[in-house]
Amino acid sequence: MEVKTSKFGQRMSELTGVRAIMKDIIETLKSAEGKSFLNFSAGNPVVIPQVDELWRKITTELVNSKDFSNVVGRYGASKGYEPFIEAVLKDYNNRFNLNLTEKNILVSPGSQMLYFVAANTFGGYTSEGEIRHLTLPITPEYTGYGGVSLHKECIKGFKPLIEIFEKDHEFKYRLDRDNLTIDKNTGCIFTSRPCNPTGNIMSLEEVNFLVEKASANSIPIFFDSAYAAPYPALNFTEMLPVFGGNVAHCVTLSKAGLPGERVGFVLADENIIKPLEAFQTNACLHSSRMGQAMATLAINSGELQEICLTAVKPFYMERMIAMQEAAKKFLPNTIPWFLHRGEGSIFAWIWLRDLPISDWDLYNKLKEHQVIVVPGSTFFPGIQDKSWKHQYECIRLSLTVDKPEIDQGIKIIGKVLSECYS
């Protein structure tokens, strides 16, 4: 049988970003026939034993509490589970010296849903037919942004400046202020800090520049804080988050051990929260409450913040260091490879300057050598200039593999790169 889909049905059926390659990776792994792959493609965080144990303990507590019946057996407020809201507000107000009230928060079923709702609440078209862009001021960016707007043409990505530390084989992305357009046709700004996937942490100066631009144009700026403190605290270097004014601070508990439960929230001005809350209510009533109730206990006891600092952050920092060491050891010094400064993320990001083949060709070549990486070009949503070569010169490596495998994998990547560049 055949059915016809609407314009949005067609648009939203597109596989965007990393998902476009995941199918190939899954098929490769399925048809492996005894071959074992070094798989650096995973976006799924590692289940860290201490974190797993905490959530088991907390869930047992919840099941044995009076609240359980209410959490599971009742519909909830569209804004979120009240005790969770209270716990989050208390923690953030204390920690960052804020005065947030329940008017400043919305709980969402994971942050992807929040970005979908925000992209179409503030971006898209006005009633008069004027376009409002979803602006990504500094790419590469979170691949999921590529799929959230109902109007593909509304997503507008900007190229970064590249600061190169030639001798160290390191580099860092910088905001390109001069070539950034934020004006009356901008609907909202999305940016991840620390950046998923590169681990870049924008400086406070860059942040303030963006916030001022947003404010001058009366548009919200969403800081995707999926890797920021206090949960999961995956920033390896110091960073100060910003709040207030046009800033929407977006958090998810996915990297703090709850990806399966889909718990996210946004902290922002009431005028940003209100339309998001209404849209979300019409679209899905409210978020699942079990994850929220679990997080309530873990935040109120302080255990969630604690375990992020003592287990989650060290875990990925060690992996990042292992990656840096392996790169220095096994990637040929003669090749212009550059590792992005590991400022906080669950990925390493490598730029191969003047790579003679495309990132996809490199992906395929590495696959032949039983190493799976993710080609970087899937992380540049909304970039118009298809001739800009940097976007085809990067690869993403997951920090979820362990040290011996990192060494093994980087060694093979080094060999393949030698062939490519020779």
* 24's tokens: 């190939």
Name the residue with tokens 């060690």.
318
Select 126 or 179, whichever has its Cβ closest to a copy of itself.
126
User: In the bound complex, what is the minimum distance in angstroms from residue 399's beta carbon to a copy of itself?
Assistant: 16
Select 71 or 350, whichever has its Cβ closest to a copy of itself.
71
Select 34 or 129, whichever has its Cβ closest to a copy of itself.
129
Select 150 or 357, whichever has its Cβ closest to a copy of itself.
150
Element (H, E) at 319: helix 313-330
Spatial CB neighbours of 315, under 8 Å, sequence gap ≥ 6:
46, 48
User: In the bound complex, what is the minimum distance in angstroms from residue 17's beta carbon to a copy of itself?
Assistant: 10
Q: Near a copy of itself by CB under 8 A, which window of 84-92, 106-114, 334-342, 349-357?
A: 106-114
Instruction: Decide if residue 284 touches a copy of itself (CB under 8 A).
Output: yes
Instruction: Decide if residue 269 touches a copy of itself (CB under 8 A).
Output: yes
Instruction: Give the contact letters, 63-102, x = binds to a copy of itself (CB under 8 A), - = no.
Output: x----xxxxxxxxx--------------------------
User: In the bound complex, what is the minimum distance in angstroms from residue 258's beta carbon to a copy of itself?
Assistant: 6
Q: Near a copy of itself by CB under 8 A, which window of 3-11, 296-304, 311-319, 344-352?
A: 3-11
Q: Near a copy of itself by CB under 8 A, which window of 96-104, 231-239, 275-283, 376-384?
A: 275-283
| C-alpha–C-alpha distance, residues 236 and 347, integer Å | 12
Give the Cα-Cα-Cα angle 115, 117, 118 (nearest 5 degrees): 60
Cα–Cα nearest to 225, from 120, 114, 147, 303? 114
User: In the bound complex, what is the minimum distance in angstroms from residue 368's beta carbon to a copy of itself?
Assistant: 27
| C-alpha–C-alpha distance, residues 158 and 160, integer Å | 7
| Summary count for the chain: helices (H), strands (E) | 13, 16
User: In the bound complex, what is the minimum distance in angstroms from residue 177's beta carbon to a copy of itself?
Assistant: 23
Ramachandran angles phi, psi of 170, nearest 5°: -125, 160
Count of residues of this chain found to bind a copy of itself when the rule CB under 8 A is applied: 86
Element (H, E) at 118: helix 111-122
Instruction: Give the contact letters, 217-256, x = binds to a copy of itself (CB under 8 A), - = no.
Output: -xxx------------------------xx-------x--
Pairing of strands 394-398, 124-125: unpaired
Instruction: Decide if residue 103 touches a copy of itself (CB under 8 A).
Output: no
Instruction: Decide if residue 20 touches a copy of itself (CB under 8 A).
Output: no
| C-alpha–C-alpha distance, residues 207 and 180, integer Å | 13
User: In the bound complex, what is the minimum distance in angstroms from residue 173's beta carbon to a copy of itself?
Assistant: 26
Instruction: Decide if residue 344 touches a copy of itself (CB under 8 A).
Output: no
Select 138 or 148, whichever has its Cβ closest to a copy of itself.
148
Distance, first Cα to last Cα, the chain: 53
Give the Cα-Cα-Cα angle 284, 288, 293 (nearest 5 degrees): 150
Give the Cα-Cα-Cα angle 335, 339, 342 (nearest 5 degrees): 165
Sign of torsion, CA 376 115 230 256?
negative
Q: Near a copy of itself by CB under 8 A, which window of 27-35, 288-296, 376-384, 390-398?
A: 288-296
User: In the bound complex, what is the minimum distance in angstroms from residue 278's beta carbon to a copy of itself?
Assistant: 4
| C-alpha–C-alpha distance, residues 208 and 188, integer Å | 16
Cβ atoms of 237 and 382 closer than 8 Å? no
Q: Near a copy of itself by CB under 8 A, which window of 112-120, 235-243, 364-372, 407-415?
A: 112-120
Instruction: Decide if residue 398 touches a copy of itself (CB under 8 A).
Output: no
Which residues 176-215 are close enough to bind a copy of itself by CB under 8 A? Answer: 187, 215
| C-alpha–C-alpha distance, residues 340 and 170, integer Å | 6
Q: Near a copy of itself by CB under 8 A, which window of 146-154, 189-197, 223-231, 389-397?
A: 146-154
CA torsion, points 293, 253, 371, 14, in degrees to nearest 10? 90
Instruction: Decide if residue 290 touches a copy of itself (CB under 8 A).
Output: yes
One of 79, 89, 107, 132 touching a copy of itself (CB under 8 A): 132
Give the Cα-Cα-Cα angle 257, 85, 291 (nearest 5 degrees): 30
Which residues 23-62 are close enough to bind a copy of itself by CB under 8 A? Answer: 43-45, 47, 51-52, 55-56, 59-60
Residue type, 180: L
